[in-house]
Structure 1
Amino acid sequence: MANILNIETSTSVCSVALTSEGQVLEHYENYDGKTHATLLSLYIQRSLKYARSRNMQLDAVAVSIGPGSYTGLRIGLSEAKGLAFGFNIPLIGVNTLQLLTVTTMFNHFIDDDNALYVPMIDARRMEVYTGVYNNALEPVVEPEAKIIDEGAFGDLLASHHMVFFGNGSDKAANVIKSPNAEFIPGIKPEALHMLALSEKAYREHDFIDVAYSTPLYIKEFQATKRKKKVL
């Protein structure tokens, strides 16, 4: 098994975890939001200090590549690229929607092998970044930006037990009314839960380019124009 430094900054959570041989050795999280720029470097330094104290060499750096917060994704990927380049080790990109799905599968027993998993990351108004995955983490619906209304996922809900989670699922719970819909609150993307995905990617040599890789934004960034002052 590899020694991997995992970085997650796709939402308001800022987190870092050092993993090795299927175990989380060290991890740090902050849930206050807008702390990525100040805390991420500190968490990385602490994790590297832990690794040095045990004569561990990093084999790879893993980072959540989105979808999610534009600013958070840029900060996380920039730090990860710097580490991968500096240590001359591979860079792993972890899809945030798959991370949320794995977190739910590992922490909540769903007694239905045919259930579909629907991670949701809050975008704006009634929009979410989402996708649909089966029990093998295969995409049934590819990642997309989706407006949530009463008819959302109607065809799939008619024939499947669907599990909704992530910080975008709260507003979905207010409009999606189906006996086949289950909502699990409190699921957040965290670095310590990246372990399974990052180690799988390392085993399969599924790496991303250190120089040219970009976050999975799904939608193009639209800057808000500053309003002109009326004199």
Structure 2
Amino acid sequence: MSLLLSIDTSIDICSVALHERGRLTGLMELHQGNVHGSKLVPCVKSLMDQLGYRMKHLDAIAVAQGPGSYTGLRIGVATAKGLAFAHDLPLIGVDSLEALGRGVISQAEPNSYIIPMIDARRMEVYAAVLNHEGKTLVASRPEILDEKPFQEFLEKGKVYFVGNANEKAKKCLHSPHAIFRDGLNSASGVGEIAYEKLGRGEVADIAYFEPNYLKEFMVLKSKKNPLLS
């Protein structure tokens, strides 16, 4: 048996899953903002208790490594690293956008494209381009929607967009080839990819593993005078 625990905190959803030989056996998700820090570990424990597993039954820990929310990724990766180190388990990092796009493969026509997107505020998104089988054609990177970054793919054929930036993207991407599918980041997709990576021996170095933020985290300096507040 190959049992993987997967974590995805790329967006507001706190998502954990268990996969046995790559097949989803359990999923728990909280669709609430700002709960990763307090709810992630209890969710892991609750899911494993419900399915009758203990940490000793696991073969690896997988985590969505980004892009996505700075705070969410930091908490998810730190938790995954801590569990992997404490229980001497391999750690597997999975691209958040590749995992998001995994959920659309069954709906995609041959010779079409899949573009998973994560909202990065204003008119920016994090996006990747996959073929209809889920192979990455353009790696995850920041994009500005009003600059119409996906025109070359929309001109070639159908493009399936998925993620929490869809509503924003609909205002800019006007094309008969643009198809918007429901779907959000989930540990279910992370576990599928992680199982494949584990089979190829693609595991991370726990000591040096870090989230892939894509953009530098910036702290804005307050304009208020602290002496007057």
The alignment's TM-score, normalised by the length of structure 2, stands at 0.92
Residue in 2 aligned with 1:86? 86
Deviations 1:81-101 (A, max 9, x none): 011111111000011101111
Residue in 2 aligned with 1:44? 44
Check if 1:222 corresponds to 2:218.
yes
Q: Distance in 1 between matches of 2:90 and 2:179?
A: 38
SS in 1 for 2:104: helix
Q: Which runs of 5+ in 1 are unaligned?
A: none
Aligned residue runs from structure 1 range 15-34, under 5 A: 15-34=15-34
Q: CA RMSD in A?
A: 1.9
Aligned residue runs from structure 1 range 122-161, under 5 A: 122-149=119-146, 151-161=148-158
The alignment's TM-score, normalised by the length of structure 1, stands at 0.91
**In structure 2, do the counterparts of structure 1 residues 87 and 51 end up closer, same or farther at CA, with 3 Å as the change threshold?**
farther
- Cα shift at 1:53: 5.0
Residue in 1 aligned with 2:101? 101
Residue in 1 aligned with 2:193? 197
Q: Which runs of 5+ in 2 are unaligned?
A: none
The question of whether the paired residues in 1 share the 8 Å contact of 2:55 and 2:87 is answered with no
Aligned length: 227
Q: In structure 1, which of residues 205, 208, 211 is the aligned counterpart of residue 207 of structure 2? A: 211
The question of whether the paired residues in 2 share the 8 Å contact of 1:51 and 1:57 is answered with no
Check if 1:4 corresponds to 2:4.
yes
The question of whether the paired residues in 1 share the 8 Å contact of 2:13 and 2:30 is answered with yes
Residue in 2 aligned with 1:66? 66
- Cα shift at 1:55: 9.1
Q: Distance in 2 between matches of 1:169 and 1:53?
A: 37
Q: Distance in 2 between matches of 1:62 and 1:102?
A: 15
Check if 1:166 corresponds to 2:163.
yes
Aligned residues: percent identity? 38
Greater Cα shift, 169-178 or 68-77: 169-178
Q: Which aligned segments of 4 or more residues in structure 1 are displaced greater than 4 angstroms? A: 50-56
Q: Distance in 1 between matches of 2:114 and 2:55?
A: 40
